[in-house]
Structure formats: C-alpha cells, structure tokens
Structure 1
Amino acid sequence: MKTFVKYDFYIQLFFLILWPLGAILSGMEGWMMFYFIVGIPQLISFIIKICLKIKISPLFLIYGMTIMPVWISLLLLQIIGIDHKIMEIPGCIVIMAFFYSPFMGLLYVIESHNLYESLKINQ
C-alpha cells in the first residue's frame, strides 16, 4: 500500500506539471485538455484508494463529493440522448466544474502528498 501511495503521488504530480506545459505548447486546446490529462488519473487513483480503504481525510471526501458527480454527469451527457430538460442538471454540474476542477486537482495532489508523508512517518 505504501508503494502505491508513493507512486500515486508522483504520477499525480507528473500529470499536474504536464498540463501547463501542454497548455503553453498548444494554446487553448491544452487548457481544455486539463480536465482529462489531470482528471482521469485522479479519478482512477481516487477509486483505487477507496477500494484499498486508505485513510480517508476530510479533503479526500470533499474531493470525492465534488468530482464524482462531474464524471457521472459527463457519462450521462454522452450516453443518454434524451429530452433537454432532463439533461439540464448534469449540464450545470459540468459547467460549474469547469471553474472549480483546477483547484480540486491541486488539492488532490496535496492530499496525496499528505497521505504519502503520513505513511512515511508511520514506518
């Protein structure tokens, strides 16, 4: 578990650093890719950490409560092509996430670092 947390932190940090480089090199398309370049590895990491029953902090819970609805909404928007009135709620969630996701991505990397440090101290 400690090895996973260590590698997970470095992977999350790598993707968080990779995003600004991509944004600089490719312009607006790089900025929009933030949500997938950083978000997908964080989503996978979040799900694995839940399954491993790693120490859950308040920041980890806040991340999950704010980011999981976004991914569920994106899936609904892509899979279900029904009446627009039904799709307004998932659409609003995705639009709101446009503004808070970069901060949540940074907080997730900080939380990964804190977990890594706590496991290193407990060794």
Structure 2
Amino acid sequence: MMKSFAKYDLYIQIFFIVIGFIVTIIKGLDGWILFYFIVGIPQLISFVIKIFLKIKISPLFLIYGIAILPVWISIVILKIIGTDHQLTDIFSCIIMMAFFYSPFMVLLYVFENHNLYKSLK
C-alpha cells in the first residue's frame, strides 16, 4: 500500500507543479500567487497523510515540515484574526519569507517523494 501511495503521490505532485507553471504562464505575474496555492495545498495534504501513515521521517521531510507548516498556520490565523496589525505582523512576516523559500521547498518535497518511492521498490 505504501509503495502505491508513494508512486501516485510523486506523480500527483509533479502534475500540480506543471499545472502551477501553466497557470502562471497564462496569468502572468498574477499567476505566481496561484502557483503557491496550486502546488502548496496538495503538498500540505500529502505531508499530513504521510505523517499519519507513519513513514520513515527523513531529514528532508522534517526540514520541509518545519519550514512549511508555520506558513499554513499563519495563513489560517490571518484569516481568523483579520487585519489587526499589532497581532498579525509576525504571521505576515512568516508568509512573506515563504514567498522566497517556498519554490525551493517544492523541489525538496518532490525530491523527497522520489527518494521515498525509490526506497520502497
């Protein structure tokens, strides 16, 4: 079961990266924001599923979780709190920093998925 999940997960992640790039090309600069969500949401879902499947946690998997989970938590908190600048400054900073490192994290996650799939063969 884990081998099948790893294989499909790898292909799904690559599919969403390609779709994200296509949307970005079609929408221009406005598409970059969509890219983050088109690629990020499936990766978040995959990450959470893998936690519950109790896969072997590699250093890359751990780094991905430490870097990306605070971003999604910050987005949820900003949506709940609203625009009170005193309360939201730290969460806004976390999200802004993620715009710079998230593309690297996308590649890291796909690389980690590939390594997981190869290790299960």
Q: TM-score, normalised by structure 2?
A: 0.95
SS in 1 for 2:82: coil
| 8 Å CA contact 1:15, 1:37 repeated in 2 | yes
| 8 Å CA contact 1:16, 1:38 repeated in 2 | yes
Number of aligned residue pairs: give it: 120
Question: Could you say which residue in structure 2 is the equivalent of 1:88?
Answer: 89
Q: Could you list the per-position Cα deviations for residues 9-47 of structure 1 after superposition, in whole angstroms to 9, with x for gaps in the alignment?
A: 000011112211111112112221111000000000000
Question: Could you say which residue in structure 2 is the equivalent of 1:49?
Answer: 50
Cα 1:25/1:82, change in 2 over 3 Å = closer
Cα 1:83/1:25, change in 2 over 3 Å = closer
Question: Could you say which residue in structure 2 is the equivalent of 1:34?
Answer: 35
Question: Could you say which residue in structure 1 is the equivalent of 2:20?
Answer: 19
Question: Could you say which residue in structure 2 is the equivalent of 1:114?
Answer: 115
Query: Counterparts of 1:110 and 1:81 in 2: how far apart (Å)?
Result: 36
CA deviation after TM superposition for structure 1 residue 50, in Å: 0.3
Question: Could you say which residue in structure 2 is the equivalent of 1:71?
Answer: 72
Query: Counterparts of 2:83 and 2:96 in 1: how far apart (Å)?
Result: 19
CA deviation after TM superposition for structure 1 residue 3, in Å: 0.8
Structure 2, gaps ≥5 residues long: none
Moved over 6 A (4+): none
Query: Counterparts of 1:29 and 1:49 in 2: how far apart (Å)?
Result: 31
Question: Could you say which residue in structure 1 is the equivalent of 2:98?
Answer: 97
Identical positions, percent: 67
Cα 1:29/1:114, change in 2 over 3 Å = same
Query: Counterparts of 2:82 and 2:23 in 1: how far apart (Å)?
Result: 32
CA deviation after TM superposition for structure 1 residue 113, in Å: 0.5
Code of the residue aligned with 1:11 in structure 2: it is I
CA deviation after TM superposition for structure 1 residue 82, in Å: 6.2
Q: Could you list the per-position Cα deviations for residues 78-97 of structure 1 after superposition, in whole angstroms to 9, with x for gaps in the alignment?
A: 11136321211101000000
Q: TM-score, normalised by structure 1?
A: 0.93
Question: Could you say which residue in structure 2 is the equivalent of 1:61?
Answer: 62
